[in-house]
Structure 1
C-alpha cells in the first residue's frame, strides 16, 4: 500500500499538536496519510502503554488517517542511530510517501531534536539499493517541519496552512489524549495554548487559525494559481 503523506512524531500527540488541522485537511481532500509515532510515549508520569495506544488510535480516527504505526523506541531515549534509521527507513520503503512531515530541528526536548535528525537520515537511507532493509528503495520528495516547541523560539515559516475550518477537529483529536491533557492537571491549559498559538499564526496570513511549516529545500510551484492563494 502506498500513501501520500507520512507524518512522524517522537511521541503520541506530537503530530496532533503540531499539525492536526493540516492532517485533517489532507484526509478530507482524499490524500492517504500515515502517522508514524517513534515511541509510545512511555515511560511518562501520566498514562500507560495500553491507554496511550487507545488514545492514539482514537485521535487517528478523528483525523481520518489511513494508518497509524508505533515503533519501539523509548521516550526520552530517542537517538539518531544507524539501527533507528533503518527502522524508520523501512517504513518509508514499505509505504512510499511523497511528502514527509517531521518535527522542527531546534527544540528544548531532546527527543524532538533527535527525531528531526533521525527522520532526515532515514529519508536518505530509504533510497539505498544495496541493503538488507525490506522493500524496494524509495526517496520521499520533500520534508516539511512542523512545530511542537518546548522553548520560545522565533521561527520564520516557509508556509502557513489555513486551518480555520478545522480547528475544532484538531482540538477534538487532542481531547482523545485524556491521560495527557485532561486527567493530567498540569496540562489542562494545553487546549487554550494550542488555540492561542494557531490564532497567532493565522493572523500572519489574515485568517482565524493557521499551522506553520518550515522547509529547508526550495518549494516548487508549477501553477500560477498558487501565487494567488494568499
Structure 2
C-alpha cells in the first residue's frame, strides 16, 4: 500500500467505502479547503452487497475520492461483515498509523447496531495505543496520534449528545455529490419517492446544523477533554 510522503493532518478510519462520505464528508471538504492533508482508510471493501461488486465499489470510491480531493486513500482489506478486533488487525492498523502519522483520527462511534462499526471503533482505540509502543514488531517508529474523535453512523436512531458539532454549511452540496458516487449503495434498488436515503442523510445534517444555529452540521463525540485557547473558536 502506497503512503504519502508527508504525515497526514487528519485520517478518517471508515469500516466500509461510503461511511466516510456519509458521516464526515463535509468535514473532509472543509479541512481540504484549509489545506490540511486528509486521508481515508477503509477497513473492508464493503462487499458483498445486493447490487455492488468489488470492482464497482472500487470505481465508486475513486469517483468519491476525486470529489473530496483527498490527499490519500487506502483499504486494509479486512473481511466485510466479519470485521473483528483481533490482534492481527490491530497490528496492521497500528503499523499504518505509524506510516501515516495523522495528528487527528476520526473513527466510528463505539455504540452502533452494525457490528463492523463497533469492531472498527474498538480497533482504532487499541491500534492507537499499540502505535506508540517501543520494542515491538510493528513496522515504523513509535507514534501517538494526539486526538481521536468519533462520528455517528446512519444506523443509529437515538444519538448521544455530541462533544461538538462542526459547521459544514458551505460544503453540503459537494458532500452529497460524493455520496451519490456510491450509486449501487445509495440509489439503485431504493425507493425513489421523498424521502429517499439521500434526503435522509441531508436532513440529518440539517438537524445538526440547526442545533448550532447553522444550516448544516456534522456531530462528533470525544472520550477525552477538549482544550481551547480562545473563546472566539466557539463562536
Task: Determine the structure 2 residue equivalent to 1:96.
Answer: 101
Kept in 2: contact 1:108–1:149 (CA 8 A): no
Given that 2:166 and 2:218 are in contact with CA atoms closer than 8 Å, whether structure 1 keeps it comes out as yes
- Partners of 1:204 and 1:7 lie apart in 2 by 24
CA RMSD of aligned residues (A): 1.3
Maintained 8 Å contact 1:181/1:187: no
Are 1:223 and 2:230 counterparts?
yes
- For 2:218 and 2:23, the matched residues in 1 are separated by 7
What runs of 5+ residues in structure 2 fail to find an aligned partner? 1-5
Q: Distance in 1 between matches of 2:131 and 2:232?
A: 33
Could you list the per-position Cα deviations for residues 42-101 of structure 1 after superposition, in whole angstroms to 9, with x for gaps in the alignment?
Answer: 122221111101111211111111010011111111111110011111110001000000
Counterpart in 1 of 2:141?
136
Residue 81 of structure 2 corresponds to residue 73 of structure 1:
no
The 2-side partners of 1:156 and 1:29 are apart by 27
Tell whether the 8 Å contact from 1:34 to 1:68 is kept in structure 2 after alignment.
Answer: yes
1:178 has 2:187 as partner: no
Residue range with higher mean Cα deviation, 9-18 or 143-152: 143-152
The answer to whether residue 235 in structure 2 is matched with residue 210 in structure 1 is no
Q: Sort the Cα spacing of 1:210 and 1:140 in 2 relative to 1 into closer, same or farther, 3 A.
A: same
User: Is 1:77–1:111's contact at 8 Å kept on the other side of the alignment?
Assistant: yes
Q: Please list every run of at least 4 consecutive aligned residues from structure 1 whose deviation after the TM superposition is greater than 3 angstroms.
A: none
Q: 1:186/1:91 Cα in 2 relative to 1: closer, same or farther (>3 Å)? A: farther
Checking the alignment, whether the CA contact within 8 Å between 1:57 and 1:68 is kept in structure 2 is: no
Task: Mark the runs of 5 or more structure 1 residues left unpaired by the alignment.
Answer: none
Q: SS in structure 2 opposite 1:8?
A: strand
CA distance in 1, matches of 2:69, 2:143: 25
Change in CA separation of 1:152 and 1:187 when aligned onto 2, cut-off 3 Å: farther
CA distance in 2, matches of 1:219, 1:16: 24
Aligned length: 228
Post-superposition offset of 1:131: 1.4
Deviations 1:157-200 (A, max 9, x none): 10000111100010000011011112232598221001110111
Q: How does 1:129-168 map to 2 (within 5 A)?
A: 129-168=134-173
TM-score by length of 1: 0.96
1:118 aligns with 2:96: no
- 2:88 and 2:52 mapped to 1: Cα distance? 28
